[in-house]
Structure 1
């Protein structure tokens, strides 16, 4: 009898490849006041020191390799509309709205201010959280995003991939589609990504977990396909939030990502105390340079590595 694959099935091999022990990892669930549920992964049994926030269209498992390499107790949260967290009926996934959920999670699951590490949409969400709830944040690492960068304006093949269809007969069908478009790296890596970002409905069809794919498909049905983009995390309030952060702030710029030198320079102009670090990676730094990112996070968790503004 074949062993059933679960969301935790991939972790032992990842830990072995890194040469690190496999910590206890569990799925957490938090009922919210409006009836939705927020979900997260907890690595380790001690009080979390670090909280990880993923980008649009991803989920908490995008951080698995980085989390294992970090070897610290931490939380990795599924933002609303992603992973095992509920979709929003109003489809409002702006950073300030998402930050309110994260604040509720930290009030419940943590006992000390957190080093918040957010990639892309998660970075803007982390800024909104740090600006509005400084009591919950000891430091902020923003990964490959600054306000005004439209990460949805990426390759046309990526937009088409998420624009539809949103359900499939099998996960293998989706793996084949992803690989035909050049996504996902090796087949095992693609199979893992597809498994962790999809679910099987009651009718047996496989669908994306994240709401963005479904919203993109709705837009495709209503407009000229040539103009369709997935929802963008670009928000006018982003700079206000970043400037309002009082905790130590680091921007990680991926050398092959979306943040250009000019974007990083603008952040440093607005926030002279901010630190900018360049890593050799693509936009999803946590997947393409996890060890380097883990080293940076570990250093950032040490308050002696910062000078406070």
Structure 2
């Protein structure tokens, strides 16, 4: 595919695959210059101001929400988190919720006109809680998808680290598709091809690389096991601290909160029970899905979010 291929041209086929009737909404890419010179990028769907804003997980990008937004049927915004999609990488590689929240809030302030139903999956879910706690004027409802603070990193996230800890560049996108399918990622071949196209870019030298920073960080760690082991120890200590800050963010959210858990996802029953104990006012919904609920159950998730968006 050409690099100038319309990134929204996949929408009709995605709607047909999901059995979603009606024309696909108009999509446009939006960009915001941040105060430090970095760029935040996002996707806006529909002709009216967004009602729902979506935040993706680590290693993904805003297009992961395409089919969910088609099912939603409401004006929406999907933001590329820093270090992902068309948003700038961070020099400090600090891809944690409280660091990402100010950038997301700046984007929501620029691209929306009313408090949003804020939906976040995985890293995006923790970031959604941080945004709602620190910028309550921007958020009217929070939906957290298959993540809780302090989740056991040995459960599912290690699979993603192994997947990205390969070469940093490739001869063709087909090689990336084959790698994704070999790890059981991407769903069907057509879905994997679409996902790889939207999450990669062709460099000036003709080599293909992932758009997101995580693949490059994972590959560097894999190339230096001793340094990686030291980093893993620091990350374990950091995860404990960040887990508590995540619970603090959730405790600080004043809008309604819903946790959507995939029954084959990263959130275990014990994690969900701890969430219910710590956030007793929240609702918990279980869907038949793995971690990427937005790709495996887009219609059900779109229906749930539409209900939240239309609630008084």
Would you call these one fold, judging by a TM-score over 0.5? yes
CA RMSD after TM alignment: 2.3
Q: Which 5+ residue runs of structure 2 have no aligned equivalent?
A: none
Mapping for residues 1-309 of structure 1, pairs under 5 Å: 5-17=5-17, 18-151=20-153, 153-154=155-156, 158-223=160-225, 234=239, 235=242, 236-304=244-312
Conserved 8 A contact 2:3-2:202 = no
Name the SS of the counterpart of 2:289 in structure 1: strand
TM-fit CA distance, 1:187: 1.4
Q: Which 5+ residue runs of structure 1 have no aligned equivalent?
A: 305-309
1:203 and 1:255, CA in 2 relative to 1: closer, same or farther beyond 3 A? Answer: same
d(CA) in 1 for partners of 2:56, 2:193: 19
d(CA) in 2 for partners of 1:224, 1:59: 31
d(CA) in 2 for partners of 1:141, 1:106: 16
Name the SS of the counterpart of 1:29 in structure 2: strand
In structure 2, the partner of 1:307 is: none
Q: Deviations over 1:200-240 (max 9, x none)?
A: 111111000010010111111221599697x8994231000
Conserved 8 A contact 1:38-1:79 = yes
Q: Deviations over 1:237-294 (max 9, x none)?
A: 1000001100001111111111122222212212221111111111100000000000
Name the SS of the counterpart of 1:168 in structure 2: coil
Name the SS of the counterpart of 1:301 in structure 2: helix
Per the normalisation by structure 1, the TM-score is: 0.92
d(CA) in 1 for partners of 2:225, 2:188: 34
- Structure ranking higher in helix proportion: 2
1:241 and 1:174, CA in 2 relative to 1: closer, same or farther beyond 3 A? Answer: same
Name the SS of the counterpart of 1:6 in structure 2: coil
d(CA) in 1 for partners of 2:154, 2:68: 24
1:226 and 1:157, CA in 2 relative to 1: closer, same or farther beyond 3 A? Answer: farther
Per the normalisation by structure 2, the TM-score is: 0.91
